[in-house]
Structure 1
Amino acid sequence: MVWFLTCVAALIGGYFIYGAFIEKIFGINEKRQTPAFTKQDGVDYVPMSNKKVYLVQLLNIAGVGPIFGPIMGALYGPAAMLWIVLGCIFAGAVHDYFSGMLSVRNGGASVPTITGRYLGNGAKHFMNIFAIVLLLLVGVVFVSAPAGMITNLVNEQTNIGLSMTTMVVIIFAYYIIATIVPVDKIIGRFYPLFGALLIFMSVGLITAIAFSSEHTLLGDYEVSQMLTNMNPKDMPLWPALFITIACGAISGFHATQSPLMARCMENEKNGRFVFYGAMIGEGVIALIWCAVALSFFGSVEGLSDAVANGGPGNVVYSSSVGLLGVFGGIIAFLGVVILPITSGDTAFRSSRLILAEYFNMEQKSLRNRLLMAVPLFVIGGILTQVDFGVIWRYFGFANQTTAVMMLWTASAYLLRHNKLHWITTIPAMFMTTVCITFILNNAQLGFGLPMMVSTIAGIVTTLAITGYVIKISKGKGDTELADEDGDVNANAETA
């Protein structure tokens, strides 16, 4: 219990202390008009209140990642919670803040355009391809996961005999509608309510287990085990844990989502609450599910058996019903199902906007929105036929690689304007080493090289990338910059 509360307190303290430090280094301008006003179009650029933007941002970034990831990460023991705290404060929330605020400063631009501006056209083209691939994987994952969870729930509680295919079609139909209608009609209207449900559900679960007579919140783990690898199958913690727990600590998917709310935020002073704060909120959710997974099943061995018998979805259902009863458990379970649905539709929406920027096609007309969206859904539908486990593994790597690119973009921005770049460079270096080591060592996705060789190659490559980014960025002028902070004129169109 003390370990959990300490972790939560650290996250909250991180928001007020380190978050304020990050905001100061970035240098907000409360008098500068945001894209919500300078580009207001009634479709994607729509001013929305601070609280509403925060709750939508939280739902956009919180798919099944901060639930499934921490559940799988919990197989390594309570040490997983330490990564959630440190990763969230010093990497994930920083990543989200810069992905959102750099979009605000660049007229609401998507992540490929921002990357290209500060790292060059080569990086822009790479990110255009990589971001679309990632978002399609996210969209497919966030169709398959909720469809499977709803199908299992309905068939277990009734005799309807609902098929997985039917649920996939229903969810896809909703995604198409949510992707093309104005942002304030569905997303802005209903998602704040879903965000409140998410918070209520998470607090309810952790409260139930804290006062449970059958389960003790992390009570069976000794202090000495809090920093050790307890994986029952002796899986190495490095670097897999940092890929497994993504959305609860740092996630590149968030860089594709932050521009959606950058187009709706009314003032730059709201950035810390919306972007840094939403990531802290997701970190708390990740801590809750990590703690529930470790506590409800009694041990990592018990958790491992539950995962083996139905994946993380089984862990969610069993713990929800076991802690809150059938009715409360189903409500909590449905709250979890909402998460991927509310991230899946915004994944496709982000894809549409990235393609629209690439082809320089305005999105105010319904025809143009359909031209961008329909091919994405056709490809997504095809990908739903691929094994979910394969899609999830590639999603994890693609997700963290996108985060690496966004962090290096932020470093290039800070270097260019002689600001303290180490706040993004250090997490960029760490995550670059993680991604390179993982893909070189992993036999299923990568090259299957020995761990020592992979790690050394990861470190050497990271040092080379660091030198390159510093070289091309430090002291470099930019004729498009409007002032000493390097901000693009808010009314200028981005490339």
Structure 2
Amino acid sequence: MNAILLMLMGLGAMALGYFVYSKFICEKIFKVDPHFRTPAHTMQDGIDYVPTNKYVLWGHHFTSVAGAAPIIGPAIAVIWGWVPAFLWVVFGTIFFAGVHDAGAIWASNRNKAKSIGALTGEVVGNRARSLFMIVIFLVLLMVNAVFAVVISGQLINFPSATIPVWGAILVALVIGQLIYRKNMSLLLVTIIGVVCLYGMIYVGPMMPISLPEMIGPVTDNQSWIIMLFVYAGIASLLPVWMLLQPRDYINGIQLFIGLILLYAAVLISGPELVAPAFNNDLPEGTPSMIPLLFVTIACGAISGFHGLVASGTTSKQLDKEPDLRFVGYFGAVGEGSLALAAIIAATAGFATLADWQAIYHQFGQGGVSAFIHGGANILQAGVGLDTVLSQTLLTVMVVLFAGTTMDTGLRLQRYIFQEWGAIYNIGWMQKAFPATLLAVGSCLLLSFGAGGDGSGGLLIWPLFGTTNQLLAGLTLLVITVMLVKKRRPMWYTLAPLVFLLFMTIFGLLIQLKSFYIKEDWFLFSLDLVVLAAAILVTLESGATLARQLKYNKENPAEAT
């Protein structure tokens, strides 16, 4: 099959989802109100609560939620064949991710921009909130620790990406000043920023920068990881308009241009999908497609991390409530289009089936490397870009996605510590600087406490997929309870959450058996904790939902 047909079907379906389904969900189910005063206005502080242009906010949300996961997950999952991966990415984006992301912003926006964890306490109960926040903390810890490893690895493997990756921070700082201090036209600022970023991508291969293999007692990998966390800690303390917003916005534009280039190359070169539609010759040790497909492709179809961003930073910057459709749902469509590009690069970017099988010789292979090498081959064939320049472009895409996710993730982790300080009345923990130190310290402890090489986050990464999907299901639970309390139709969120919770708990049980067989007692114990939290929060939420449905039946009233 030709990749052009796959691309047109996928992008066409997602566009239909945005223009038709999201309009119905936002107007008829969430009933967004253009006159509702958002927390960005009522609680404006110039640091975290800042009314923001919807295009700038979309850039922040899209690049924060995307990270490297929508590339890694789909580019691994094609080992089962491109058809299952394609179907889950497309339908997951339309009926799961878009509703989940827009719903999380809506729920938080209607409750003083509270995080989904804090909101659980009000909507479901305090016991559910405590369990939920443990799951949230684990997801953030995994994302921050592992994405630091991903970025470090790419900077070591592709030193040509060093200048554009770090230079993007300087560009963002300048853009923030131009938008908020000089009040320059957003279009003009966007053009300046994109030209600067692509100029650095062009210069990168001419001036590759690598760290020495050893810097005193630490390796180059450890040095990059330490520098990344120092940067992320500082970034999490700065006002959102100064670095986070402009960095995410300009990265979002640059990354979208990169996607357009990749899709244009597909249209021009028309590569064939060399990977099988359904792979019947799976390498030994490959797990069952069900439920692992729905866990492996996490951020490519639906992700609990999206709910953390939506309710943690995005809702605090929402200018007008109707903007959440463009920011939240279209942000999910942007991520779905990235996942689709990863599928095409990882299945049509190789010359022959044998070349593809050489990469996918065991489960877990492929991922970022398949995306970069396959995508570079397509760019070279389609638009004539030099191989090194193509690899640099795609590497910068991966690293910038991961970097913006780290920026937001560490800020969210700081919020978690501050919320715990408020819940347990610990005054010093409610302050930004101590909470940031705790966030950075916990990530570094995980990174360097296990093995000492900085990649300790990989130790608990096998649980990321299931824990992340569990978080998405629990977020949909909170949204569903809110809808029932407002006497609105619940099936548009209830059906996805039932499917998601079933697949996730099924996946946790399979992993539990695997960890037991391997005698990996640390991950076995952690899996038990996550599984217990999932079951208890589900029971608490189910009981709350049942009580509310009974109350609604006994006390008929108009929907609100």
Q: TM-score, normalised by structure 1?
A: 0.86
Q: Secondary structure of 2:318's partner?
A: coil
The aligned runs of 1:36-51 (5 Å cut-off) are: 36-51=40-55
Residue matched to 1:429 = 498
CA distance in structure 2 between the partners assigned to 1:238 and 1:179 by the alignment: 38
AA partner of residue 372 (structure 2): Y
In structure 2, the CA distance between the partners of 1:25 and 1:230, relative to structure 1 (3 Å rule), is farther
Q: Is the Cα–Cα contact under 8 Å of residues 75 and 230 in structure 1 kept in the other structure?
A: no
1:6 aligns with 2:63: no
In structure 2, the CA distance between the partners of 1:105 and 1:179, relative to structure 1 (3 Å rule), is same
1:103 aligns with 2:108: yes
In structure 2, the CA distance between the partners of 1:444 and 1:347, relative to structure 1 (3 Å rule), is farther
Q: How far is 1:70 from its partner?
A: 1.0
Q: How far is 1:231 from its partner?
A: 4.3
1:177 aligns with 2:234: yes
The aligned runs of 1:264-303 (5 Å cut-off) are: 264-298=317-351, 302-303=355-356
1:474 aligns with 2:474: no
Q: 1:358 aligns with which of 403, 420, 442?
A: 420
Q: How far is 1:286 from its partner?
A: 0.5
Greater per-residue helix proportion: 2
Q: 2:373 aligns with which of 315, 318, 328?
A: 318
Q: Percent same amino acid at aligned positions?
A: 27
Gaps of at least 5 residues in structure 2 are 161-204, 214-219, 380-384, 451-455, 518-530
Q: Is the Cα–Cα contact under 8 Å of residues 251 and 400 in structure 2 kept in the other structure?
A: yes
CA distance in structure 1 between the partners assigned to 2:558 and 2:52 by the alignment: 29
In structure 2, the CA distance between the partners of 1:347 and 1:303, relative to structure 1 (3 Å rule), is farther
1:196 aligns with 2:259: no
AA partner of residue 101 (structure 1): W
1:86 aligns with 2:161: no
CA distance in structure 2 between the partners assigned to 1:13 and 1:438 by the alignment: 31
Q: Number of aligned pairs?
A: 463
AA partner of residue 41 (structure 2): F
Q: Deviations over 1:128-149 (max 9, x none)?
A: 2211121111111111111111
In structure 2, the CA distance between the partners of 1:398 and 1:333, relative to structure 1 (3 Å rule), is same
CA distance in structure 1 between the partners assigned to 2:544 and 2:279 by the alignment: 35
Q: How far is 1:261 from its partner?
A: 1.1
CA distance in structure 2 between the partners assigned to 1:44 and 1:350 by the alignment: 11
CA distance in structure 2 between the partners assigned to 1:441 and 1:409 by the alignment: 26
1:62 aligns with 2:66: yes
RMSD across aligned C-alpha pairs, in angstroms? 3.0
Q: How far is 1:467 from its partner?
A: 5.5
Q: Is the Cα–Cα contact under 8 Å of residues 180 and 366 in structure 1 kept in the other structure?
A: no
1:375 aligns with 2:438: yes
CA distance in structure 2 between the partners assigned to 1:53 and 1:230 by the alignment: 44
Q: Secondary structure of 2:289's partner?
A: coil
In structure 2, the CA distance between the partners of 1:321 and 1:3, relative to structure 1 (3 Å rule), is closer
CA distance in structure 1 between the partners assigned to 2:355 and 2:50 by the alignment: 48
Q: 2:395 aligns with which of 333, 345, 348?
A: 333
Q: How far is 1:312 from its partner?
A: 2.2
Q: Pick which of 294-303 and 278-287 moved more.
A: 294-303
Q: Is the Cα–Cα contact under 8 Å of residues 67 and 285 in structure 1 kept in the other structure?
A: yes
Q: Deviations over 1:33-55 (max 9, x none)?
A: 00000000111001110100011
Gaps of at least 5 residues in structure 1 are 449-456, 478-482, 487-495
Residue matched to 1:420 = 489
Residue matched to 1:401 = 470
CA distance in structure 1 between the partners assigned to 2:210 and 2:240 by the alignment: 37
Q: Pick which of 127-136 and 263-272 moved more.
A: 127-136
The aligned runs of 1:236-247 (5 Å cut-off) are: 236-247=288-299
Q: How far is 1:446 from its partner?
A: 5.4
In structure 2, the CA distance between the partners of 1:299 and 1:73, relative to structure 1 (3 Å rule), is farther
Q: TM-score, normalised by structure 2?
A: 0.76
AA partner of residue 324 (structure 2): G
Q: How far is 1:57 from its partner?
A: 0.5
1:165 aligns with 2:197: no
Residue matched to 2:407 = 345
Q: Secondary structure of 1:109's partner?
A: coil
The aligned runs of 1:23-38 (5 Å cut-off) are: 23=26, 24-38=28-42
CA distance in structure 1 between the partners assigned to 2:513 and 2:68 by the alignment: 23
Q: 1:147 aligns with which of 136, 146, 152?
A: 152
